[in-house]
């Protein structure tokens, strides 16, 4: 079993990509990355992030 969480926060993704949180939010708001919100937090399923990183279309 992996220690990787099933979802990542915007902050986690920004750290992984070495970019700003706003850059990640821009991709979420444009629809490039599918995310869901809990309260004010955007969360991205790890499978969705991996799909995006492989540059696969939805």
pLDDT in tens, 34-56: 999 999 999 999 999 999 999 87
* CA nearest to 48, candidates 3, 13, 11, 2: 13
pLDDT in tens, 1-37: 567 669 999 999 999 999 999 999 999 999 999 999 9
DSSP state letter for 43? E
What is the predicted pLDDT for the residue at 46? 96
User: Under 8 Å CB-to-CB from 38, ≥6 apart: which residues?
Assistant: none
Instruction: Take residue 53 and report the two structure tokens written for it.
Output: 């990183």
What is the predicted pLDDT for the residue at 24? 98
In the chain, where the domains are located:
7-53
């Amino acid at each position: 079993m992996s220690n990787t969480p099933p979802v990542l926060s915007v902050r986690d993704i920004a750290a992984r990509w070495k970019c700003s949180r706003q850059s990640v939010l821009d991709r979420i708001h444009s629809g490039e990355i599918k995310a869901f919100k809990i309260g004010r937090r955007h969360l991205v399923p790890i499978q969705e992030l991996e799909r995006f990183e492989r540059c696969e279309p939805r």
